[in-house]
């Protein structure tokens, strides 16, 4: 497609945006693409623009860039809109969590059963849901043939909401399925076949076989209860939680599904440490979150230093050494990120650009996608977004047949999708009695007075944050 226009909403989230631009540089058939960068933080937006142009020059790619603070201008005439924005940022998340904990809700009132993943508010994120709908409605008005690629959480609720309310072309993406590689390494295989299915942050390993048809689950269980020492708070794919969930549900949970688990594993910090490992107790404990924020701040500083170095005439290869020497406490993961960005043979772990290439240039590829169910997983409602494997060629999706055990459907997926639907109904109706009813069934609730107090304090903030998004240009 000539003159392709791709918009990135929340482009100031520079790590994700750098991956997208780096991937575009490595896709020759997408040469000539115009990339529109949109964010409400002008300083971060400018820093990323500097790096994006330098990255494009580094690869000798043909990409054009435009920046804007206007959502409307970003979407007008787009062919693909990638949304990575977190309305209110981490400040809003921290504020909601603090109010919840003030009234006895450990880690915040959004930490319901099957919904513990960081940045995944579903009951109080009216601002985020409003942003999702605003983007979708602008696409209907200004770019009716565009694809909306959902990257921002909550992908389950967001994909469900936008798809059912607007009917635009939409797909949600996550990279949690790559954790299958951890299991493959454990059993010592490099060439294997796999499949995952479920809902976002709630996917299960439905197929794990060698090329000659051997069931690798038989090899996997030999390593059950092997001592696990996490290298980071996010290193949980082989934690005691994962093995216990496997015994309970009959399939192995993959990626963030291990974090999306019941109160059995999350009651307090001591419990989290026992199940997710010392010293953090997983990514969603207070210690895990502190680690995450420190790493996030290091990366923000890294991006700022990179932009400054480039503005001062440094080339990326030289700037890399300058920056890494200035931030010695950044994790190896973040240090390796920069090397990968500059490696012409490596695409990132994000699916967005390969998907665009498959749609535009009819390159048949396999993806893990979030789309409305419509019978893809039997036993779940049609109007809920599911995460399944599909081959994409042009705008044709060929979905793989899925078979999930009754235990996973009845005891995990149905409760999780019910909560998603309840949260969306509360958002659409603003019926606080429904929100009260959800919290009355929360295991942390000791009285109705507790419920009323936390809602009374949260409700004005939720409305205020929603109004900010509504009024944004």
Give binding residues for substrate as ranges: 153
* Cis geometry, peptide bond prior to residue 154 (ω within 30 degrees of 0): yes
User: CA 139, 118, 248, 373: dihedral to nearest 10 degrees?
Assistant: 0
Task: Give the C-alpha separation, 242 to 348, whole Å.
Answer: 26
Give, to the nearest 10 degrees, the angle between helix 432-440 and helix 414-429.
150
Return the structure tokens found at 136: 């979708």
Task: Give the C-alpha separation, 156 to 176, whole Å.
Answer: 13
Active site residues: 175, 265
Rg (CA), the chain: 22
Return the structure tokens found at 263: 């109160």
User: CA 81, 87, 91, 96: dihedral to nearest 10 degrees?
Assistant: -130
Strand-pairing partners, residue 172, are 150, 370
Task: Give the C-alpha separation, 368 to 216, whole Å.
Answer: 21
- Binding-site members for Mn(2+) are 174, 201
- Name the nearest CA neighbour of 100 among 419, 444, 378: 444
- Binding-site members are 153, 174, 201
Task: Give the C-alpha separation, 77 to 6, whole Å.
Answer: 9
Task: Give the C-alpha separation, 90 to 257, whole Å.
Answer: 22
- Phi/psi at 32 (5° precision): 90, 0
């Amino acid at each position: 497609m000539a003159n392709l226009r791709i918009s990135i909403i929340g482009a100031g989230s520079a790590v994700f945006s750098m991956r997208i631009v780096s991937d575009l540089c490595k896709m020759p058939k997408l040469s000539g693409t115009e990339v529109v960068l949109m964010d409400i933080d002008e300083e971060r937006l400018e820093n990323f623009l500097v790096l994006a142009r330098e990255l494009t020059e580094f690869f000798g790619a043909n990409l054009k860039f435009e920046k804007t603070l206007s959502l409307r201008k970003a979407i007008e005439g787009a062919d693909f809109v990638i949304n990575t924005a977190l309305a209110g940022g981490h400040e809003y998340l921290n504020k909601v969590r603090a109010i919840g904990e003030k009234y006895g809700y450990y880690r915040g009132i959004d930490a319901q059963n099957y919904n513990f993943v960081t940045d995944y508010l579903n009951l109080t994120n009216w601002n985020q849901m409003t942003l999702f709908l605003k983007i979708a409605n602008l696409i209907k008005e200004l770019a009716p043939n565009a694809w909306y690629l959902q990257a921002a959480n909550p992908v389950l609720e967001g994909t469900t909401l936008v798809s059912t309310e607007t009917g635009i072309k939409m797909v949600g993406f996550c990279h949690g399925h790559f954790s299958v590689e951890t299991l493959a390494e454990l059993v010592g295989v490099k060439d294997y076949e796999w499949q995952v299915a479920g809902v976002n942050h709630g996917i299960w390993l439905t197929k794990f076989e060698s090329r000659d048809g051997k069931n690798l689950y038989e090899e996997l269980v030999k390593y059950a209860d092997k001592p696990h020492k996490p290298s980071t708070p996010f290193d949980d794919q082989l934690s005691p939680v994962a093995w216990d969930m496997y015994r309970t549900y009959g399939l192995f949970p993959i990626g963030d599904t291990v974090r999306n688990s019941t109160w059995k594993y999350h009651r307090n910090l001591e419990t989290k440490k026992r199940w997710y490992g010392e010293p953090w107790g997983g990514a969603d404990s207070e210690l895990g979150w502190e680690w995450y924020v420190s790493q996030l701040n290091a990366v923000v500083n890294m991006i700022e230093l990179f932009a400054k170095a480039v503005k001062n005439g440094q080339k990326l290869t030289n700037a890399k050494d300058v920056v890494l020497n200035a931030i010695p406490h950044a994790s190896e993961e973040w240090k390796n990120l920069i090397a990968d960005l500059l490696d012409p043979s490596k695409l990132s772990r994000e699916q967005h650009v390969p998907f665009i290439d498959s749609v535009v240039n009819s390159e048949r590829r396999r993806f893990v996608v979030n789309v409305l169910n419509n019978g893809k997983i039997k036993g779940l409602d049609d109007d809920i977004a599911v995460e399944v494997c599909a081959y994409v060629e042009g705008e044709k999706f060929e979905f793989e047949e899925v078979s999930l055990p009754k235990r996973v459907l009845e005891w995990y997926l149905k409760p999780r999708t019910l909560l998603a639907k309840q949260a969306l109904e509360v958002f659409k109706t603003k019926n606080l009695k429904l929100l009260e009813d959800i919290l009355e069934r929360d295991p942390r609730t000791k009285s109705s007075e507790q419920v009323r107090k936390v809602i009374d304090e949260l409700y004005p903030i939720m409305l205020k944050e929603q109004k900010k998004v509504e009024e944004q240009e």
